[in-house]
Structure 1
């Protein structure tokens, strides 16, 4: 339309110029100029690109230096409380054990840059070990506590882990026996030094247990290895640890193939922690109920680093997510903030409806790790009796957060966006040709700035696929960027359903179905269809005690509210959803369930 209008004006100008033998009056020239300017202004292109500077500058500090700053400012304030272990640390007592871990690792012969695996649930030694590795100039490697032998073996080999720290057991898993299965030399090692044919890089196994296990050191052994002078050396070491160097490796929670290992720097960690905490208005009076796993980017950055930088206390209700334990911890420890993923909040709301505990001190919930439906936002606020519900949005490769709610956001911004672009982050949205689309149009979100990972460990090809030579990181998220800095996620590009040529984004259907009074939670996938290519299949979890839902019920509910091609062709009622430990729904497992329980209605 714009091109045609300019062509028409151009033809008009040519005719007038010819009619006057090339001599237009001043009035005629002004008229033509006004018409052209109006046409240009009407269709002026505003590319969906923003660089949000923010109010606070970036800092150039390592994690160890940030901990020292927190100790100096908040020394006697509680840093962490483990309810299930009945342990407490202030910031001042924390750094003492952190430096014991750092000095102990160095005493074992590990060097700066070595990778230290932490394979554990939310026990306090996870927190101490991660900070200890950072203070020693080493790289902590978060390993999912639900991983079994082959999965742990892959992680240890992929990033050449030199030492692993773990509990003896958790739930039904005996970690020590699993490690023995992949490292049979462990029981026969001398002085805690391992020589393994299968795991040639692994030199030490440290177990948080009172028991003496053959070949392994206890966590208390590690704490007791060093002397005071060696711990002083750890403090001196901090000036030589470069903030741009790696401090953590996060395994991505991919649904296909082996997980990739994202390498994150001290600079990423410290700055994102500061800016996340600023947005959430954390201070030394904030007490955060931690439901998310510490090994995950949500746990280690949004939770640990944000709390540490602002002198806030972390409260660990249980080793693994337990909604009843969370609610009791909020009451007993006077928590003011709750951290969780959407699926965790679904379970927390359900349990609170049963227990109806007085959550008087809780003021705010932070949700992230997966998209949250507007209905769930409202339920979180109303059932838990909170003043604020805020969201964070990002990915492992961007150190957890790239969009986040702001303190004065309106209800519409909270319910219908993933928040505002984070401070010092640059964002753009591109089409499938790599060209920037206009504000308000759909495309793939790309990010550039301090928060992007250093790359995938020992995988240059995958790194180049994700981060271009221009330093833009492609998120794989279908996104809409607004000119005011807020964004809306449409869905993952790979999750988009193509039905008879129509592009369908599951999140839109999920958000709508979650408003049904009988539905507790919904997840939508595409399933094969010979005629249409793909069909829409909805998996729903109903509120307790309700009978099974039929597809006709869904059709009636969608009538006049969703386009016909978006109405689920198949419906599967489930009692629970397959999830990763970090709370993400494993949609590939839903596809497997569909294949086994194919429904034709």
Structure 2
């Protein structure tokens, strides 16, 4: 008996059994555990990775300066559709001119500059200019519609907004004019908007003369040598602990929350991500499929390339798999970034086109990479290594990531190893650490956790407790070797093709439909996208169709949030307290 108990304990079986019985109200097993076994055998789900290199105390602006000095003539970005190529030296020069032009029209360090645009070279330069000028860059999803944009601008007090005139079906100037009819009668920089009172300057990435706006190129031309010298001389006075970015992320309430990221967090997180992605081993051309506005774009893409001197190849302003294949072939890309959905699309097109390509590394994030997709990426795209990244905006970008020599299991069944200089633990509903091998909510602590949500102390306190542990809302399990596995999501978030979608916002929109009595939104499995948005509704008029729903949501929600599946129900499963049981709703749809 003693040998059996000892074997069970050494292999974590007994401790796990004790844990679950304790949760069921069996305290005598806790006494048994304490009597039979000493504390030294107690293994909790806790990991600490101290790293092998120290953190660097520098700003994004000084990082760009260092990289421009080191890799002066190396191409920093190739924007294929815009037919533009810029070296790191040219990026620094253009960034300082844009920063000086913004200073010339009245912006000062600390002002919030919103960028509402797809993957244009001007997006990239605005990122760098804000870092050099001390402005706080506010990343806004280019698919956002009027009410979504209005909320973001007002939430953080955006003073200057930069956007194109149009892109695809999105007319940015028209949306701005709808929100601020005063724009048409305002001089550039003189906007006084009733609905967005903080917004004074609108800059359009366009050659069109649009009333009330500056042209992007004119702002660059406003730079004088004296103001450029001021921008350059203030670099040493900027503190790395100052805010650099504000990125929006939604919560289960449906209202976007504004995550503050510092220069220190951005420069260091992107440095260590780049090392894991092997950008430090040689020069790489990186095919960029992910949007710049997302943490995958700003940190994993732009930040890593700036740290390690990689060249970003932007196939097109918006994601198009055929143009990605063209870019990989023509620019000899050795690394590619994307979500699993993007890789599925790329594989489909490559099977038809059979281009002569050979990728060394594919970095996948946003959702898990299946073993089948892993093999397809290797066999069809010629990828030598597939690497996973896992993280969240509140932790700057990445907290778990593949190591250099990971095998297929680590790349497909785990999210990788904990990032350098971070701690991670798993807790139960009561906030207690769970035993190794048991599922629990992932909490992380370290340099990269956000300063907080902008102007939202309550939500910040809910996110980060007194001991500085950030609660991710994701359910994890740890392996003994330090790798992490996602078990599920504690939150109701839907991940559709790498886009994070929160049901409450869609439900609020659907509940305003005159023929809908009650609406609840869930994610349903989808082969290509991972999950798809399904609206479950009780209706007054049973003739309502998915097409009706989609037309109603158009212009109110970003396109990726609009439901693509509809289920009409007679009632919703509820708890005794009246809360909707969404898992039961999902199960009922499967049956």
TM-score, structure 2 as length reference: 0.79
CA distance in 2, matches of 1:337, 1:272: 19
Q: Which residue of 1 aligns with 2:313?
A: 315
Q: Given the superposition, is the C-alpha separation of residues 596 and 423 from structure 1 closer, same or farther in structure 2, using an over 3 Å criterion?
A: same
Q: Is the 8 A contact 2:340 2:364 kept in 1?
A: yes
SS of the residue corresponding to residue 491 of structure 2 reads: helix
Matched, 1:295 2:300: no
CA distance in 1, matches of 2:298, 2:415: 20
Q: Which residue of 2 aligns with 1:350?
A: 348
Give the Å deviation of 1:106. 1.1
Q: Which residue of 1 aligns with 2:466?
A: 469
Give the Å deviation of 1:539. 3.6
CA distance in 1, matches of 2:62, 2:140: 25
Out of 104-113 and 312-321, give the one that drifted further.
Answer: 104-113
State the Cα deviation string for residues 130-157 of structure 1 (Å, max 9, x = none).
1101111111011101011111111111
Give the Å deviation of 1:486. 0.8
Matched, 1:198 2:184: no
Q: Which residue of 2 aligns with 1:31?
A: none
Q: Which residue of 2 aligns with 1:387?
A: 384
Q: Which residue of 1 aligns with 2:275?
A: 278
CA distance in 1, matches of 2:460, 2:77: 35
SS of the residue corresponding to residue 114 of structure 2 reads: strand
SS of the residue corresponding to residue 239 of structure 2 reads: coil
Which of 489, 494, 498 is the aligned partner of 2:491? 494
Which of 142, 147, 157 is the aligned partner of 1:145? 142
Give the Å deviation of 1:585. 12
Give the Å deviation of 1:47. 1.3
Q: Is the 8 A contact 2:252 2:492 kept in 1?
A: no
Q: Given the superposition, is the C-alpha separation of residues 140 and 414 from structure 1 closer, same or farther in structure 2, using an over 3 Å criterion?
A: same
Q: Given the superposition, is the C-alpha separation of residues 428 and 42 from structure 1 closer, same or farther in structure 2, using an over 3 Å criterion?
A: closer
SS of the residue corresponding to residue 260 of structure 1 reads: strand
SS of the residue corresponding to residue 272 of structure 1 reads: helix
Which of 49, 65, 87 is the aligned partner of 1:52? 49
Q: Is the 8 A contact 1:164 1:206 kept in 2?
A: yes
Q: Given the superposition, is the C-alpha separation of residues 427 and 600 from structure 1 closer, same or farther in structure 2, using an over 3 Å criterion?
A: closer
**Corresponding pairs, count:** 498
Q: Which residue of 1 aligns with 2:100?
A: 103
Q: Given the superposition, is the C-alpha separation of residues 158 and 542 from structure 1 closer, same or farther in structure 2, using an over 3 Å criterion?
A: closer
CA distance in 1, matches of 2:289, 2:528: 23
Give the Å deviation of 1:42. 10
CA distance in 1, matches of 2:212, 2:566: 42
Q: Which residue of 2 aligns with 1:371?
A: 368
State the Cα deviation string for residues 96-153 of structure 1 (Å, max 9, x = none).
1100111111111111111000000000000000110111111101110101111111
SS of the residue corresponding to residue 163 of structure 2 reads: strand
Which of 444, 448, 472 is the aligned partner of 1:447? 444
Matched, 1:330 2:328: yes
Q: Which residue of 2 aligns with 1:594?
A: 567
Q: Which residue of 2 aligns with 1:30?
A: none
Q: Is the 8 A contact 2:140 2:248 kept in 1?
A: yes
CA distance in 1, matches of 2:39, 2:52: 34
Out of 88-97 and 184-193, give the one that drifted further.
Answer: 184-193
State the Cα deviation string for residues 365-418 of structure 1 (Å, max 9, x = none).
000122222322222222211100001000110111000001111222112110
CA distance in 2, matches of 1:481, 1:316: 36
Q: Which residue of 1 aligns with 2:538?
A: none
CA distance in 2, matches of 1:490, 1:586: 25
Which of 231, 234, 242 is the aligned partner of 1:234? 231
Structure 1: give runs of 5+ residues left out of the alignment: 7-35, 497-505, 511-522, 526-533, 544-576, 578-583
State the Cα deviation string for residues 478-509 of structure 1 (Å, max 9, x = none).
0012232110011111359xxxxxxxxx99xx
CA distance in 2, matches of 1:172, 1:145: 11
Q: Given the superposition, is the C-alpha separation of residues 346 and 227 from structure 1 closer, same or farther in structure 2, using an over 3 Å criterion?
A: same
Q: Which residue of 1 aligns with 2:400?
A: 403
Which of 61, 74, 77 is the aligned partner of 1:77? 74
SS of the residue corresponding to residue 185 of structure 1 reads: helix
Give the Å deviation of 1:52. 0.4
Q: Is the 8 A contact 2:245 2:261 kept in 1?
A: yes
CA distance in 1, matches of 2:83, 2:203: 21
Give the Å deviation of 1:348. 1.1
Which of 419, 427, 432 is the aligned partner of 1:430? 427
Which of 245, 248, 257 is the aligned partner of 1:260? 257
CA distance in 1, matches of 2:439, 2:53: 31
Which of 156, 174, 177 is the aligned partner of 2:174? 177
Q: Which residue of 2 aligns with 1:459?
A: 456
CA distance in 1, matches of 2:253, 2:35: 51
Q: Is the 8 A contact 1:75 1:92 kept in 2?
A: yes
Which of 56, 61, 69 is the aligned partner of 2:58? 61
Q: Is the 8 A contact 1:317 1:325 kept in 2?
A: yes
Q: Which residue of 2 aligns with 1:94?
A: 91
Greater Cα radius of gyration, structure 1 or 2: 1
Give the Å deviation of 1:442. 0.4
Give the Å deviation of 1:61. 0.3
Q: Which residue of 2 aligns with 1:121?
A: 118
Q: Is the 8 A contact 1:255 1:588 kept in 2?
A: no
Give the Å deviation of 1:187. 1.7
Q: Is the 8 A contact 1:255 1:586 kept in 2?
A: no
CA distance in 1, matches of 2:338, 2:182: 40
Give the Å deviation of 1:600. 8.1
Q: Which residue of 2 aligns with 1:210?
A: 207
Structure 2: give runs of 5+ residues left out of the alignment: 7-32, 504-519, 530-549, 551-557, 571-587
Give the Å deviation of 1:194. 1.4
Q: Given the superposition, is the C-alpha separation of residues 295 and 596 from structure 1 closer, same or farther in structure 2, using an over 3 Å criterion?
A: farther
Q: Given the superposition, is the C-alpha separation of residues 65 and 595 from structure 1 closer, same or farther in structure 2, using an over 3 Å criterion?
A: farther
CA distance in 2, matches of 1:137, 1:589: 40
Give the Å deviation of 1:50. 1.6
CA distance in 2, matches of 1:37, 1:431: 20
Q: Which residue of 1 aligns with 2:547?
A: none
State the Cα deviation string for residues 399-447 of structure 1 (Å, max 9, x = none).
1100000111122211211000000011111111111112221000000
